[in-house]
Structure 1
Amino acid sequence: MKLYIPCIKPDAPGPQIPVMVQDGFSWRVLFFGWFGLLTYGAWISALLAAAVTMIVLHVLKGFWPRLDLVVAIHAVLASFTAEIRLWEQRLNGRVPGTPIAAPSRDIALLRWMDQQQYAPSYGTSPEFPCASS
């Protein structure tokens, strides 16, 4: 089981689908570094990490002599990917909710939808896109 943290915008009108942030280590960020953060949509954090990496490589004169430092930067980014993504979501105006334990993102989204209470002004529960598609 993995923990997923739903992030929603509290001031958005009507129902919305949250951004599900998986808690834990990210292998994608370990191998690709700040480019892996870009694939998660964490633009600000990825560009800050890229700038720090490039400055360090420029100051230390080259990539290959300091490959150990680049691997260390990637390991730190991969270890803190969930916290970085949650910080990015807060910057975008989203609020993290209660963590949900589930084997996959889709099941976590279904469990989150089961917990929601909707106002009677909508009449019936809103239709969300199918999580398994």
Structure 2
Amino acid sequence: MDSNMIFNIVALGFIVFFFYSRFAGVKGLRNLSSDQFQEAMDKDKHVLIDVREPGEVKQGYIPGAVNIPLSSMGRRLSEIPKDRPIYLYCRSGMRSKQAARVLRKNGFSELSHLKGGMMAWKGSLTQQGSGGA
């Protein structure tokens, strides 16, 4: 085997690992449709976290959400109670899955996310400046 072939195999391995880590499911994470997400939030005392960046939140957020961007999730874990169900959402559902991984690794167990994110949300939105996020 020449060095070019070895390099290509290693590079392919990194690419496969990257995509797997981005798209693989999170153990114990409930993937909820917009209707299921709304219904589940109506039933229990929960924490709703918008993991988008503040600039994105200005476009509107789900009422009652707290904005803890994925980029600062690790530093803000102490703000999230471990004894309540956590509902996560972002724009498309990718960052909320990543946030769930961070939370899971830090001892959070009741995790759900909005499958498809804000792009799939059918419920009402609150605009920035109205409180919440």
Using structure 2 for the length normalisation, give the TM-score.
0.26
**Higher RCO (CA < 8 A, seq sep 6+):** 1
Q: Which protein is bigger by CA-based radius of gyration?
A: 1
Using structure 1 for the length normalisation, give the TM-score.
0.26
Which has the larger helix fraction?
Answer: 1
